[in-house]
A and B are shown apart, each in its own frame.
Chain A
Amino acid sequence: MIASEIVLVTGAAGFVGGRIVEALFLSGAATPRAGIRTWSSAARIARFPVDLVLCDIMKPEQIEPAMDGVSTVVHCAYSDARDVIVQGTKNVLEAAQRAGVERVVFISTAEVYGHDVAGIVDETFPCRYTGWEYADSKIDAERLCWEFCAKGLPVTVLRPSIVYGPFCQTWIAGFARRLRSGQWGIFQQYGDGICNLVYVDDLVSATFLAAHHNAAAGEAFNVNGPDIITWNEFFRRFNTALGLPALREISPARLRLKASVMDLARLSAGRVRQVVGPAAAKTARLFLDADRRQGVKKTLKRAQRHMKATASMRDIERLYSRRAIYTASKAQDKLGYQPRFDADRGLQLSVRWLEHHSLARGSAAEIEEAGQP
């Protein structure tokens, strides 16, 4: 690949897409074109003087011009909505085919194998629907990839496992808050599943290989990190990296009870917010002064944080206790993929990032007030 070649990255405002654009820019080996859905999401990626384009994958009229002159597409854009994952991917594949793109890399997920798997899981395992919209939609989007591949568009599918690193909201910023809350702990047998951590830069390396290797076209590859640790071990190591007091053991009975109660609270809170939220805000303005309104807001935020800091039954049963290893042997053998970041190194860098963003330091009050990053 030469610097004049253009790589379109969809979802460039996101965690993985943003990192791929950053790597492309810093390499100087190709010209990244960063596709974003809205300008308001561009603050992270606009720190780099890259070609930023509006490329909402639900708007073919935006995808078409974004493909102009592109040789490689890395398709990272997604949402939790089925339509965006499936129809959005179809829109991207159609535009790529029309534009004569040489390679499309679709960032899928290891969740396509379903949650009811154990042992060594390789790419020969069947994809299974589970009722989880996100994962089921990724299966359907992968099918579209193979359909377009059969029609001559070279597509490679990557199935990363638990991708973490700087700018990761779910596994880094979110878990830092959970660990800091004092409510998290070691889940005993419910945390003895395999965590399958892969540092985001290893996914960047895998994406590069998927975009270039002749053997990659028409294939799906698991992407995983170099070491195998349990979720309990992840909690422990992250907790240590954050410099927090040792985590306490939480008995299975207590864990399940808390999760069930909090699941119910989450469900109720969501409904209440939907039904009476707007009216409540108006009423508060009429009857409460600014100080009291602020007090109510803070209380609600605290309650929300408390709910987020408690594991859900779904995660306990289907994620933290899942004893599956998504082996990346195929990527290693066929593409020469070599993950370089073990959990300790990856977590160390992630904590440095958290500190930079003031999420891992400061007074308890400051952290409490900080809320969502």
Chain B
Amino acid sequence: MSSTQQRGEYVPTIALIGCGAFAEMYYLPALVRFPGVAEKLILVDSNGARAQHLASRFGIHRCVDDYRAILGEVDAAIVAAPHHLHYPISMDFLQHSAHVLCEKPLAEKASEAREMVAEAERAGVTLSANYAQRLFPSSVKVKELLAGGALGKLASIHYSWGSLYTWPTASGFYFNARLSPRGVLLDRGPHAVDLICWWLGDKPAVVSCQHDSFGGAEAVAQVELSHGDCAITIALSWLNELPNEYVIRGERGEIRNGIEDWWRIPIALPSGKVHKIKLAHDEQDYFDFGRRLIANFLNVIRAGDKPLIPAGDVIPSVEVIEACYRTATRFAMPWYENLGTLWSPASAR
């Protein structure tokens, strides 16, 4: 059976909570590929016009503007709402015995994440998380290589992800400081931190965190972690391009790969030779991984399969990111010194 095949005849009723850009580009194209799913799918968004627009485009019959109206009515929910709502919405569905697939980050606080996992266990349903970079064949291979000791003792891991923010966000929730003044660290950080925790099989300690927030959503962040003798740095930016790669250095070699180059793993050996491992894959672009995730979620709901990414697995990353925010300091940015004095009645002549 391929990774995107599904078992069983029963078509569950699923609610997709949040009709933003990610729902449009990732979840909906994947969901409507599976027979019968679209007919029973319910789109939920407080912006009714937006939900209706996507319903017409994808052939969905039902939209509601408040998810509380359908609690107890659905088999499962996919939570793709703004970050700060992941916890309350997921909890409501779990308490009504619905399986939940929650978009990253699972929650903003580790206590919330733990509560969500406990509630799923209590209700006898599953809670899955979408940390899509874990699904990349390259990420799986790195885990396998590190577990097998292919690089020997690790000296350092560096992960960078930076590009000008162009995500076609429909609601702009990221930029509403009143809802949650958290930015790139909560947006791109979960992928980076989760991969590192997963690869190491352990949670690294936070050494430092710097970002550029003046009270709003940070756009650049730099995190230093440590795990034994292994120094870990994570550089994230919404404002400019970074190398967009991870570099894992060990005593027996180095893996340097593009973060979205899921089809290969190059290993540089101490001799200087680079060994390229080509990996089997069906996916042509990032959004294709949605199909695999949804196929698994359908099998989780109707056949009791194990989630590809059980929520409990990602709690260490939620803990690390929470600790980063707690200890964060602002970068030294001398180009902001005295800027506040330029627009001042005192300087008017």
Residues of A with Cβ closer than 8 Å to B?
1, 19-20, 22-30, 38-44, 46-50, 52, 54, 165-166, 173, 201, 204-205, 207-209, 212-213, 285, 289-291, 294, 335-336, 349-350, 352-353, 356-359, 362, 366, 369-373
Contact = CB atoms under 8 A, between A and B. Distances in A.
A127 B32 CA distance: 58
Nearest to B187: A43
B169 A40 contact: yes
A29 B345 contact: yes
Contacts of B184: 43
B237 A29 contact: no
19 contacts: A23-B342, A29-B345, A43-B219, A43-B239, A47-B183, A47-B213, A49-B181, A54-B172, A166-B335, A208-B347, A209-B348, A213-B348, A285-B284, A350-B335, A352-B333, A352-B334, A353-B335, A356-B220, A370-B243
A47 B342 contact: no
B217 interface: yes
Nearest to B166: A40
B175 A52 contact: yes
Nearest to A32: B343
B342 A201 contact: yes
A117 B244 CA distance: 46
Contact of B219 (A47, A285, A294, A349): A47
B121 interface: no
Interface of B: 162, 164-172, 174-178, 181, 183-184, 212-220, 235, 237-244, 258, 261, 263-264, 278, 281, 284, 331, 333-336, 339-345, 347-349
A44 B342 contact: no
Contacts of B216: 46-50
Nearest to A22: B339
Given A205-B347, A349-B334, A356-B331, A369 B243 contact: yes
A230 B238 CA distance: 34
A46 B239 contact: no
Interface residues of chain A: helix, strand, loop or mixed (majority): helix
B175 A39 contact: yes
A44 B169 contact: no
A212 B342 CA distance: 13
B177 A46 contact: yes
A336 to B, nearest CB: 3
B183 to A, nearest CB: 7
Contacts of A48: 214-216
B343 A208 contact: yes
Nearest to B262: A290
Contact of A370 (B171, B242, B345): B242
Contacts of A165: 335
Contact of B218 (A29, A47, A369): A47
Contacts of B261: 290, 294
A352 B336 CA distance: 11
A350 B167 CA distance: 27
Contacts of A357: 220, 237, 239-240
Given A46-B177, A47-B219, A373-B164, 4 more contacts: A22-B214, A47-B212, A48-B216, A357-B220
The list of the 9 closest CB pairs from A to B, nearest first, reads A26-B340, A39-B172, A336-B349, A46-B175, A43-B165, A49-B177, A373-B240, A43-B238, A49-B215
Contacts of B235: 358
Given A39-B171, A40-B169, A370-B241, A201 B164 contact: no
A25 B257 CA distance: 41
B266 to A, nearest CB: 10
Contact of A208 (B162, B167, B181, B348): B348
Given A40-B165, A166-B335, A27 B240 contact: no
Tell me which of B167, B176, B237, B340 has the highest count of chain A C-beta atoms within 10 A of its own C-beta.
Answer: B340
Nearest to B160: A358
A356 B221 CA distance: 11
A79 B169 CA distance: 21
A46 B334 contact: no
Contacts of A208: 342-344, 347-348
Contact of B162 (A20, A23, A358): A358
Tell me which of B164, B168, B284, B331 has the highest count of chain A C-beta atoms within 10 A of its own C-beta.
Answer: B164
Given A39-B169, A356-B331, A26 B336 contact: yes
Contacts of A166: 335
A48 to B, nearest CB: 5
A289 B261 CA distance: 12
